[in-house]
Structures are given as structure tokens and as C-alpha cells.
Amino acid sequence: MIFTIDRVFAVRDEKEKTTVFNNMGDRVSYLELSLNIPKGEKSIFNSWDKYVTDKLTLNLGKVTSAQNWNASVNVSAKGNAEVSLKGSNTSEDFSSGKEASTILVNTGTGTNTNNYEVLSTDKDTGSKSNSAKLGAELGGSGTIGYTDKYESSLDLSSQILKLSGTLSENKMVLRQESGPGIDLGGNIVVSIEYSLTDDWAVPVQFSKIGNLYAKSGLPNSVENLSKSYFMVFFPDIKESIKGKLDYTFLYRQVLKGNKHIPEARQKVKYKYGKVESKDNELLKKAGYKDGNIDLIRPQDIRPKAYVIRKGGSEANLGLTGNELKFETAFEAAAFLSYIKDLSLNTMPFNNLRFSTEPLLAEHIADLKIITLSL
């Protein structure tokens, strides 16, 4: 038995197209399926493979989410002033007859550091100059630092992820729980064994025919074929056995923060829901007007047989008094090919007949395979 869980796109109405459910981050966090066989149905539950709660160990690794804001402010001012005074005087060295010149440079800065330099020259010149230089620089830059960092490490271990439940003759309950970040979606496969309480149908005899061809590739004669027969017994189910499917769920809807990976940062609302078969619109659209689904259909239990007939006849081909019913279409096709090869090699169709009518060469072109639903 296979259950398919899928969340569909949902909106409030035809005019309002805003998604209500199935948004990013939404998930089904708990699910309980209940399947009942109503009284009067000719079947009961016998066993299944879900008596033990399965646990699965997951390692999701480390999920990190970080946000940072940063700015800075820096205001600085610097200035410098330079004043230069150049003076020269002229004197006469009477003893030597030479003229001496002295130049004095006085430089001042904003830090009151004075530098003096005296230069001597033997030139007989005189000059005087004054200069002043004022420089100022004002600049600004800034940063303000603020960091908000959220880090979460998720490590799921032994979370209940697979099905558990209870089973009785007329009711089966399956439960499934999820872990953080895990949506209960996809297919769920449960192996269930039924006990059918209906009467048994008339058994059917199937044929197994072998040794159709010799090593040379030519068809063997009908007398040299290997023949065996076996009987098939099956319940006499003529109508589908119905079941009533109800389910409850817990839906985790993200209201805010669905772009955050860690679920701890999401604002959520849990919605509890219960859907019964009689109110299930999806089942009604699928053709189940009363809400009851088909658990076992006649074609699931009753076998099919493949026979060989000639066109327009209801008689099945038989061999040595036994009507040939093949279990598979492949076996029927293989035997039909063998008959045609007999005809091509002008070999006799001994003991092959339709009821009381023998198989003749003129029948070969009209032979066909018919599928019988028993």
C-alpha cells in the first residue's frame, strides 16, 4: 500500500492570489493516517511491517546565519605655519680688506620648533626679505561598528521519522513525526497482509508447455512436447473491498522569517487539521462519491489467462483433451509461434484442436491470443 503526501498550492479565493499555505519554510510536522474497513466487507487486516517504530539518525551539519553592520567616523585637523626672515648686513674687514656677509634664517612651525641656519659669504651685497606661509588642512572620515551574529548548529540524532502505529482486524493507524527542517512529504510504502473472508472461486488449470524446438532449431513434433498442468485457487471477489481513509495533521506555517535557515529565527503558527473520508473533496473528484476508497479490486486478486482462438470462435485451443490456458502472454505467444513454425515446415498438428474441431493449416492465419479475466 502506497500513500503519497503532497502539499498543494492554496489561495484564499479566485480573486485573491496570495498564497495561504505551501509557502517557503512551511511543512507538515505530524501526520496520522487512519484506514478502516467497514463492517460487511469481506476482508480484514492480518499483518503488516510497521509494528516497530523506525528511528533514523541524521547529521545535518552546521547551519550558520550572520548579519553585520559597520561604520566609522574620524575627524582630524592639521596645520602648519612657516615664517622666514632673511637679513643681511655688510661690514668691511679693515684688516683684510674683505667684505663679509651673514645671512640668518629663522623658521618657525606650529609646534614652536625653531631652526636657525647661518650662512656666510664673501660677497659684498646686502638684501632683506620677509616671507610668511600659513597652511591648514581639515578632513573627516568615519566608521561605526556593530555586529549581530546568530549561529546555530543543528545535529539531529534518533529523531522519529518513519511510521509507527497500531493494527487491528478492521482498523490501521499510521503515525509519522518529523524533525526540525524535515517535511513529511513523498511516498510512504506499507506492506499489508489481508485475510479475505469471501468464498473461493472455481479453480483454474494452467498449462506449461516446453521443449518446443530441437537443437537444430526446427520445431519438435507435438508428441515430443513436455506438458504439465497446475491449478490456481483464488477468492471469488466480484466487487471491490472498500476502506475509509481519515487523517489528521499538524501544519507548521511560517508567518515571518521564512528566509532564515535556522527555524529558531522563524515566527510560526501551528495549524491542526482533520479530514474524514466523507468530507474529502480530493477523493470525490477522483470518483469516490461516498469517500470510500478501493482497497482490493477484483482484478487485483482474480488471475488472468491467455488462450489461443481462431477468429470469430469462442473455443480455446486444446492439446490432448486439455484446454490450453497460459499464465503469461509470453508463454501464449511462444506457443503460437511454434504452431506457425509447424505449418511452415509442413508438420502435422496432431492432438491440437478446438473442442471437437481439429486445428487445420487454413486456421493458422486466423489464430490470435485472447486475454481472459477469470
Q: 10 Å Cβ neighbour count for 167?
A: 17
Alpha carbon of residue 146 to chain centroid: 39
* pLDDT tens by residue, 24-34: 677 777 888 88
End-to-end CA distance of the chain: 24
> Quick one: pLDDT at residue 168?
83
Q: 10 Å Cβ neighbour count for 178?
A: 19
- Domain boundaries, given as residue ranges, for the chain: 2-58+156-193+240-295, 73-142, 201-234+303-374
How far, in Å, CA of 308 to CA of 16, rounded?
A: 61
Determine the residue type at 284. Answer: K
Grouping H, G, I as helix, E, B as strand and the rest as coil, residue 197 is coil
Q: How far is CA 124 from CA 42, 65, 97, 100, in A?
A: 139, 83, 11, 7
Residue 99: pLDDT band with limits 50, 70, 90: very low
> Which residues, 6 or more positions from 68, have their beta carbon under 8 angstroms from its beta carbon?
147, 148, 149
Buried b (16+ CB within 10 A) or exposed e, 36-75: bbeeebbbebeebebeeeeeeebeeeeeeeeeeeeeeeee
> Quick one: pLDDT at residue 264?
67
How far, in Å, CA of 348 to CA of 359, rounded?
A: 10
pTM of the model: 0.55
* pLDDT tens by residue, 106-149: 444 444 444 444 444 444 444 444 444 545 454 555 554 545 55
How far, in Å, CA of 349 to CA of 336, rounded?
A: 12
* Span of 15-24, 195-204, 321-330 with lowest mean pLDDT: 15-24
> Quick one: pLDDT at residue 47?
79
Asked whether 187 and 4 are in contact (CB, 8 A), the reply is yes
> Quick one: pLDDT at residue 103?
44
Q: How far is CA 152 from CA 161, 165, 213, 320, in A?
A: 22, 33, 72, 79
Calculate mean pLDDT across residues 185-209: 84
How far, in Å, CA of 104 to CA of 247, rounded?
A: 106
Residue 19: pLDDT band with limits 50, 70, 90: low
Please say if the pLDDT value at position 308 is more than 70: yes
Residue 11: pLDDT band with limits 50, 70, 90: low
C-alpha cell at 57: 539518525
> Quick one: pLDDT at residue 202?
92
Phi-psi region of 67 (alpha: psi -120 to 50; beta: other; left: phi over 0): beta
* Span of 139-143, 218-222, 226-230, 240-244 with lowest mean pLDDT: 139-143
Q: How far is CA 130 from CA 86, 119, 133, 142, 324, in A?
A: 6, 17, 10, 41, 134
How far, in Å, CA of 105 to CA of 88, rounded?
A: 10
How far, in Å, CA of 302 to CA of 200, rounded?
A: 10
